């Protein structure tokens, strides 16, 4: 099943989509698609209630249709850097021997069709289509063999990055990764039963209608299970936490000469079975 959050920004309603594509409201079942809901085994609760007992959504909410981020603001938004060898090569950086961990601000999360805000003084705004993994139960020091049992679902993430802030302004990567709107997530949180192999998914991203990224999760350096196990050695992963797992080659800084986003540019991106996104770059304003 596919969990969603729909409605105006800040007023999203939790929902679920069945195998026929029908949307049902979960407003009477959970407050939101968040850590508390996932920790209570939400898929099992939906199955026990039964589809026929859930209200079907056919009328757009006040303000019109809009998909919000498929997970409410997580406690942690963890990024994995340079997790595709070809991407490390285009960045001019060595292939990691261990996963590179950085943190994106939870306030950076936005809906899959919300605009990307170009920050003041931004000169190198970039894109990264990535497989997102949402944690469903508390994970501490988990083994690789058991790691996938901690997954609540998978989603599309655009790890928007400002390369000047990230690489040329000193310190860690985080300041180039955490600006408002730098984490479009969704449209759906797809449960693991619909994703039998997270290492067999195609990813793609177009800039203004031109294909920039095309890859497969099969070429990750560290797979999803290895990432969860590794991260759980350094921090407790809690229900609702989001891990974004790295991007294939084709980001803007990898072009020769580099290509970066400006106001008016449009990104479309997606992952096999997990849906697609569309964002337009807009100027920052108060």
Cis peptide before 178 (omega within 30 of 0): no
Closest of 214, 213, 212, 222 to residue 246, by C-alpha: 222
Predicted local distance difference test score (pLDDT) of residue 59: 85
Predicted local distance difference test score (pLDDT) of residue 85: 86
Predicted local distance difference test score (pLDDT) of residue 90: 86
pTM of the model: 0.96
Residue 89's pLDDT band (boundaries 50, 70, 90)? confident
For the chain, domains (ranges, CATH) are 2-53 (no CATH), 77-283 (3.90.850.10)
CA distance 242 to 129: 15
Predicted local distance difference test score (pLDDT) of residue 117: 98
- Given a contact cutoff of 8 angstroms between Cβ atoms, the answer to whether 191 and 136 are in contact is no
Q: pLDDT per residue over 16-66, tens digit each? A: 999 999 999 999 999 999 999 999 999 999 999 999 999 999 987 777 789
CA distance 172 to 183: 18
CA distance 142 to 155: 22
Q: pLDDT per residue over 147-181, tens digit each? A: 999 999 999 999 999 999 999 988 789 999 999 99
CA distance 21 to 34: 22
Closest of 263, 33, 73, 251 to residue 178, by C-alpha: 73
What backbone torsions phi and psi does residue 260 show, to the nearest 5 degrees? -125, 160
């Amino acid at each position: 099943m596919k969990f969603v959050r729909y409605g105006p920004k800040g007023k999203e309603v939790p929902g679920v989509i069945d195998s026929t594509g029908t949307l049902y409201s979960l407003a009477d079942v959970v407050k939101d698609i968040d850590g508390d809901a996932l920790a209570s085994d939400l898929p099992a609760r939906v199955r026990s209630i039964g589809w026929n007992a859930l209200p079907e959504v056919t009328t757009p909410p006040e303000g019109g249709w809009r998909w919000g981020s498929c997970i409410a603001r997580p406690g942690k938004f963890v990024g994995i850097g340079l997790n595709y060898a070809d991407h490390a090569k285009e960045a001019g950086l060595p292939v990691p021997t261990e996963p590179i961990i950085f943190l994106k601000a939870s306030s950076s999360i936005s809906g899959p069709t919300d605009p990307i805000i170009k920050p003041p003084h931004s000169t190198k705004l970039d894109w990264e289509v990535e497989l997102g993994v949402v944690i469903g139960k508390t994970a501490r020091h988990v083994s690789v063999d058991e790691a996938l049992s901690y997954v609540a679902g998978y989603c599309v993430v655009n790890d928007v990055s400002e390369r000047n802030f990230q690489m040329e302004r000193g310190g860690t990567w985080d300041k180039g990764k955490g600006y408002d709107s730098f984490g479009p997530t969704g449209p759906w949180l797809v449960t693991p039963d619909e994703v039998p192999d997270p290492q067999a998914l195609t990813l793609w991203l177009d800039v203004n209608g031109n294909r920039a990224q095309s890859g497969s999760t099969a070429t990750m350096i560290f797979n999803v299970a290895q990432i969860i196990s590794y991260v759980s050695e350094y921090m407790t992963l809690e229900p609702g936490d989001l891990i974004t797992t790295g991007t294939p080659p084709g980001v803007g800084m990898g072009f020769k000469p580099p290509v970066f986003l400006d106001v008016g540019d449009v990104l479309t991106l997606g992952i096999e079975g997990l849906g697609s996104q569309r964002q337009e770059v807009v100027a920052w304003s108060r």
